[in-house]
Amino acid sequence: MPVINMATTAWKQSGGQIHTADINFAPRSTFVIASLTGTIGGGTQFAGIVSVRSRPQIDGQEVTETFGGWEQWRSSVFRQRMSSVTVGVATGKDQTAKAVFTRYEF
């Protein structure tokens, strides 16, 4: 199965916050990877996949899967006919994190 599209989203954030972003695209078989590429400060910083939206049946309705609080976010997800992914970064007080999210469409 050849990759027909690849897209990367990256951001850096600081301070005690959880930030998420929705990425929407045409329904395709899609694999998404979340990577925390750098941190500054003590404590926990986290990057992951918050939720995905897909159409399990070709002519069915879209279904949203949410993976819980930041400590349960996924590092990778594959779904056929995925149409949206929500990615997130969580940082504590006096912390900075840089994350990269890569999406492969088949």
CA 33 to the chain's CA centroid: 7
For the stretch 75-103, pLDDT in tens is 999 999 999 999 999 999 999 999 999 99
Q: Is 59 helix (H, G, I), strand (E, B) or coil?
A: coil
| CATH code of residue 64 | 2.60.120
The whole domain housing 45 covers 5-105
The alpha-helical segments, DSSP class H, found in the chain are none
Predicted structure pTM score: 0.94
Task: Give me the count of residues in the chain.
Answer: 106
Residue 42 above 90 pLDDT? no
Please name which of 24, 79, 68 lies closest in space to residue 46, comparing C-alpha atoms.
68
Q: How many domains does the chain have?
A: 1
| In the block, residue with structure tokens 């992951």 | 48
Token pair in block for residue 54? 């897909």
